[in-house]
Amino acid sequence: MPALRERNGKENVIAGTLKKPFPDHDAGPTMEVDVTKKDGVLSVLRENHVDTVYHMAALISAVGERDPQLAWSVNMDGLKNVLDASREAGVRRIFWASSAAVFGPDAPKRLAPQDAALNPTTMYGVTKVAGELLASYYFLKYGMDIRCIRYPGVISNKALPGGGTTDYAVEIFYEAIQKGTYQCFLREDTLLPMMYMPDTLKATLTIMEKEPTIPRHAGYNLAAVTFSPGELAAEIRKHLPQFSCTYVPDGRQKIADSWPGSIDDKEARRDWGWAPRFGLAEMTEDMLKNLTPRLKSGGGKGS
C-alpha cells in the first residue's frame, strides 16, 4: 500500500481489508472487503471507479493445511469473485499473486523451470495452480488483462509473518535482536527460494507498468536469492557474533521438502526485464539496520 500510494497519491489507492481496527496504511482510504462475497467486492469497485486491482488475499501454506476448506474458499472462490466483479465493473488491469508453492515433489530441486510439472501437495499450492489456470481462462474468454507472478518466500522488515513455511526467515531476525537465539522449525540445510520485500515491490510494479501484451505465462517464475536456515544464521552472526540457532523441524518441514530449492526465472528476466537487487548479505544487513533500532526502543513485533 505505501508503495502504491507513493506512486499514485494516497487518495487514489483504496486498501481493502477485513482487519479491525483498520490499519493506518498512511491514512489513505480503507474499506472493509471480503473477497468471499462477490457483491461486496463489486460494490467497492463500482462506487470508487477502480481501474486497477492488486489481489493479494490468501491463506498461505501452513495455515491452509490447518483449514483446507477455508483456504479453498479464500484463495479460489475469492479469486473468482474478484475476477467476476472486476469484469462487471470494467476494471482495466488486475494483479494476482501466485507462488512457488505451485511446484510439487516431482519438480527439479535446483532451478525449477517455468514449464515444470505443477503437482503441489498443499491446498495452498493447489489453489495457486488452479488460480493460474483460471486467470488464463479469463484472459482467453473475456480478454481481461491479468498479470501474475509466482512469489518465492518474501522477507520484510515491516510485514509480520503470516503463517507460511518460509516465516522462519523473518522470525529469526526478531529473535536474534531481542533474545540472541532462535529455534528454527526447519532443518539447517533446507534450501528455499526467497526475496526481500523491496525486490518484491519492484517486480510487482514493473510487471504492472508494462504495456498490455499477450501473456507468455499465466504465472511467471520469480527468483532473487536461495539460502538455507543455516546460511542465514551464519550471515546474521557476522553482525551479531553471539547469536545462536537451533533446529527442531516440525510439520512445515514436509511442506518445505516438497518445494524446489531454487527457481529459474529467465523468462521474467527476458520478457519484462526483471533483475533483483538484494542478495543474502545485502538483505541481512538491511533487515538488521531497520529492525534493530525499532526493537531496541521497545517497538516489538507489533510495531
CB contact burial 10-22 (16+ within 10 A = b; e otherwise): beebbbbbeeeee
Q: Which residue has the higher pLDDT, 161 or 266?
A: 266
pLDDT tens sequence across 121-169: 999 999 999 999 999 999 999 999 999 999 999 999 988 877 788 999 9
Q: Which CATH number fits domain 33-296: 2.60.40.10, 3.40.50.300, 3.90.226.10, 3.40.50.720?
A: 3.40.50.720
Q: How far, in Å, CA of 198 to CA of 232, rounded?
A: 18
Residue 142 annotated as catalytic: no
Q: How far, in Å, CA of 266 to CA of 205, rounded?
A: 18
Per-residue pLDDT band at 302 (split at 50, 70, 90): very low
pLDDT at 258 over 90: yes
pLDDT tens sequence across 272-285: 999 999 999 999 99
pLDDT score recorded for residue 214: 57
Q: How far, in Å, CA of 5 to CA of 207, rounded?
A: 17
Of the candidates 68, 76, 93, 86, the one whose C-alpha atom is nearest the C-alpha of residue 36 is 76
Q: At what angle do helices 280-296 and 229-237 cross, to 10 degrees?
A: 60
Which residue is listed with cell 488452479? 130
Residue 168: strand, helix, or coil: helix
Q: Which of these is catalytic: 124, 151, 220, 247?
A: 124
Of the candidates 153, 165, 158, the one whose C-alpha atom is nearest the C-alpha of residue 286 is 158
pLDDT tens sequence across 86-119: 999 999 999 999 999 999 999 999 999 999 999 9
Domain map (residue ranges) of the chain: 33-296
pLDDT score recorded for residue 23: 75
